[in-house]
Amino acid sequence: MEDTEELLSAVRVQEISNGQAAVVPDGYDIRNLAVLGEVPPRKAQTVAVLDIETLIDCVKREDEDACDRKSVIYVNDEKVVAVFNHYDSGSAPGWGDDTATMELHKTVEWDNWMGNSGQAMCQKEFVEFIEENFNDIKSPNPADMLTIVSKFDMHRQVVFKSAYRSSDGETKVTYDESNNTKSGEIDLPTEFTIVIPVIQGAEAFTTYAIKVRLKVRLTNEGRLFFTYTLYRPDVPERSAVKDLSERIETALPENRVIRGAIECSTHSTFAN
């Protein structure tokens, strides 16, 4: 008992620049007894959500439960983070360790089109690609687009002779059919338009029309290759983050929405 009283008497609280610190004898430390309770003293967690509407609902519920504080939402190119205890109460700072996060992943449609942009494809490969992504094409009519690029049965002996851009803006490709000495010409569009979403879980607010440029190349053997490139894909990428931020601002008019990132403080921040 005397040893315990002597130990307690050796513990003192000392003022430091960041507040107060407890000074204890060598070989001892201080523990928060609240962690030994049946329930934690407060919430401190990171919730991962898969779509923006779920994150908005989480913020509304948390703010309703808190009553005297509002969550703060940070939006950047990589993720959206809602910090429920950014403030303790009113404008007093909180620990910022109770959050909901939505990672911003690109959609399958975006990855499909970006992944093949600039890659040369033979006619068979390009036809298959158009078939797989048929519903993304807005203009020309996707059925017409597919008909044009798959004009020839892959088993027919066709030799493409020349490709040139005509005055009407289309690419004209001339060909010979070796099995019946038939010649002809087909018109290919130099660009087409796709409509695809950019961000998973926010498709309704991040879907855009994108121009796609189409080029053809003939080999010395008379084979036809297609290459498409998305025109300024950085524009819909930037627009997606901006429109996502505006969606949050509209749904949560009383909350601060900040374009940026946050590194929340922890207890160790004030330890020294």
The predicted pLDDT at position 224 comes to 78
pLDDT at 262: 83
pLDDT (0 to 100) of residue 18: 54
**Residue 241 domain-assigned?**
no
Residue 76 covered by a domain = no
91 belongs to a structural domain: no
In a domain, 84, yes or no: no
- Alpha-carbon distance of 99 to 86, in angstroms, equals 9
**For residues 152, 154, 155 and 159, what is the CA-based torsion angle, rounded to 10 degrees?**
60
**121 in any annotated domain:** yes
Query: What type of residue is 203?
Result: E
Residue 189, in any domain of the structure: yes
Return the closest-CA partner of residue 241 out of 46, 88, 52.
52
Is 75 within the bounds of a domain? Answer: no
The whole-number pLDDT of residue 250 equals: 97
How many separate domains does the chain show? Answer: 1
Q: What is the mean pLDDT of each run of 10 residues along the chain (272 residues)?
A: 57 56 67 66 85 96 86 95 83 83 97 96 90 94 84 56 58 63 71 96 97 84 84 96 97 94 66 54
The position carrying tokens 């929340």 is 264
Range of the domain at 202: 108-236
The answer to whether residue 181 sits within a structural domain is: yes
